[in-house]
Amino acid sequence: MSGEYAVDSELATRLAAELEAVGGPSEDPAVAAAREVGEILRAVIDRLTATSAPPEVLHAAADRLRATAELLAPYDAVRRYQGTSEASGLSHDKAFFDWSPQLGLANPLAPPIRVSVRGETVVGFATFGIAYEGPPGCVHGGYIAAAFDEVLGLTQSLSGRVGMTGTLTVWYRRPTPLNTELRFEGSIEEVAGRKVVTVGRLLTGEVLTAEARGLFVTITPERFMSLSALREQKPGSSPA
């Protein structure tokens, strides 16, 4: 899929290389360990949302998880990422891949979506387990919208800009199945002033299940940095 906008091939090649680098094995021991924990927690979430375990087993699991939460409690003041957790800031953030709620290998809330750049198109693959269920056997529409927001946020980076979502419209064409590899595709349709218009598709095999259109508004580096500064403030504190 390709929009009307012509993506700079050098920029696309650079973005593809960045994605490959941040998505590969991490040389940072802390990041590698966080990814391992994220993978295990995804398995726990998946099994818990579909378990037939009796109360005594669930109580035992709760005790172990409580101990894990207490083990991690002294370290909750530090958030290990550079820039923002959104894909739209990739060129400013080398760690979004680990903490993004949709792409992050270390984030147990993420499916995760595995993304790459192919020509002028961003392609993402994901399998949504039962924790993401909406209608029986199908992915909840809200998760599909969130995934489009992230994939199209990365897509707009092909314009060479950093932007934030202005509007996102999703058309659900048919039910999207759980436990099936899905493919997201995103491309830029138009760039006009500060606005970057993107379009996306979601497919299972060659069957279209949803489409989306996202409008992203370019922000300045200064605005980007101010948002980063706000993120660093402790909960409950007032903006500087």
pLDDT at residue number 226 = 67
Average pLDDT over residues 72-91: 61
pLDDT at residue number 99 = 87
Checking if the pLDDT of 201 tops 50, the result is yes
Cβ(187)–Cβ(120) below 8 Å = yes
pLDDT at residue number 97 = 78
pLDDT in tens, 13-39: 988 888 888 888 888 899 899 999 999
pLDDT at residue number 231 = 58
- pTM of the prediction? 0.87
Average pLDDT, the chain: 87
Instruction: State how far the Cα of 105 lies from the Cα of 122, in Å rounded to an integer.
Output: 18
Look up the CATH number of the domain holding residue 73.
Answer: 3.10.129.10
pLDDT at residue number 26 = 87
| Least confident among 147-151, 160-164, 166-170, 182-186 | 160-164
User: Which amino acid belongs to residue 209?
Assistant: T
pLDDT grade for 98, boundaries at 50, 70 and 90:
confident
pLDDT at residue number 22 = 81
Question: What strands lie across the sheet with 114-118, from one edge to the other?
Answer: 114-118, 121-126, 182-192, 195-204, 207-218, 163-172
Checking if the pLDDT of 79 tops 70, the result is no
The sign one gets for the Cα dihedral 127, 132, 138, 143 is negative
Percentage of residues in the chain with pLDDT exceeding 70? 81
pLDDT at residue number 90 = 54
Q: Domain residues for 12?
A: 1-240
Instruction: State how far the Cα of 57 lies from the Cα of 49, in Å rounded to an integer.
Output: 14
Give the residues across from 172 on adjacent strands. Answer: 210
Checking if the pLDDT of 2 tops 60, the result is no
pLDDT at residue number 162 = 84
The residue among 190 and 229 whose pLDDT is bigger is 190
Average pLDDT over residues 69-75: 92
Instruction: State how far the Cα of 173 lies from the Cα of 217, in Å rounded to an integer.
Output: 27
* Rg over CA atoms, the chain: 19
How many structural domains comprise the chain?
Answer: 1
